[in-house]
Chains A and B, each alone.
Chain A
């Protein structure tokens, strides 16, 4: 029973209280870059969930069965980024064949998932927090869900920001950042939220 409680606590934490984008500041580039339209941001979110889950599983296994026995733990950063780059390449080829429409709309941002801090971040945090395999995968998936939640909420706000009347210097990017700040403010309401 207690394993469910732990997993539930990890999920709740990853989605709301410690949201990857709005609280931990991981994955800001795609958050800002792909959030202009609701449907592309949803696609990006789904791709990130998928990659984060796979990356958590793969990097956990590589760390446990390869790096730790060979006492090469200091090579984590290099090895993890290689594993993630290979994974993203694989996902890209898969999408190109299976879902060409989504592949087209994600465009340049798919290869950029490799350099998404959230993906490398989740791999490193799993090891830092000493999660088991199951906990790591759950953390990866729910971290991705948190990312999707934030980017979808933000893109719906941003569609409205396009036409608003504001000082010229704030037009575009700065205004989007301020809106993101207000979104982060609302997510602060979830901090201090504890299951135990």
Chain B
């Protein structure tokens, strides 16, 4: 299995957020604390794996013309399950993510993977694809969260390590602006620029290797 290759794609060269530029609403909206980021990332990963598996199983049954509608219903079913489970067992997370949990239905990453991967590949490959793309999404969220939480409120892991997290910057330094919407746009812009730079370096190095052969 080329799990390693798929993982590399999910994390870096074909990262759903940083390279494919999908699912940006939630990426910018909820990444204010590490707790939110991990919770959202795991929810999306679970939904992505489940929907990929089911869509891959049904790919020969679903008529081509109504496939998008069928995918959305399947995804909405799983999102409702996760929504209800979070409300029951993790009410704090459910409150702080708010409307963005039901909005996972319209997260382009899930529909995008259904259309471009799960509808063309076998069950196992689709499950692995769901897992690796989910890990990539979670990684992007966690990086955003760490940066914004550190610069915006001066803490690390609020909600994960105790209610207020670990204080790193004294409370008079952090710039509140970074956790406001503005900070979301700016942080994501810089991160995408960094990813483009790294990907270009990697591509150049590979081209060099080819030339040396």
Chain A residues packing against B (C-beta within 8 Å) = 22-29, 32, 74-78, 81-82, 85, 111, 114-117, 120-121, 124-125, 128, 167-170, 173-178, 180-182, 184-185, 188
Contacts and interface: CB of A to CB of B under 8 A. Distances in A.
A74 B88 CA distance: 13
Contacts of A188: 180-182
Contacts of B28: 25, 28
Main DSSP-derived SS at the B contact region: helix
Contacts of B12: none
B76 A29 contact: no
Interface residues of B, number: 41
B102 A23 contact: no
Interface of B: 21-22, 24-26, 28-29, 68-69, 72-73, 76-77, 79-80, 83-84, 99, 102-103, 105-106, 108, 111, 177, 180-186, 188-190, 192-194, 196-197, 200
A173 B69 CA distance: 30
Main DSSP-derived SS at the A contact region: helix
Contacts of B185: 177-178, 180-181, 184
Contact of B69 (A85, A170, A181): A85
A115 B177 CA distance: 29
A28 B25 contact: yes
A27 B68 CA distance: 19
A187 to B, nearest CB: 8
A27 B25 CA distance: 7
A117 B99 CA distance: 10
23 contacts: A25-B26, A25-B29, A28-B25, A75-B80, A81-B76, A81-B105, A82-B72, A82-B73, A111-B68, A114-B106, A116-B106, A120-B106, A128-B99, A167-B193, A169-B194, A173-B189, A174-B193, A175-B189, A178-B189, A178-B190, A180-B185, A181-B184, A184-B182
Contacts of B80: 74-75, 77-78
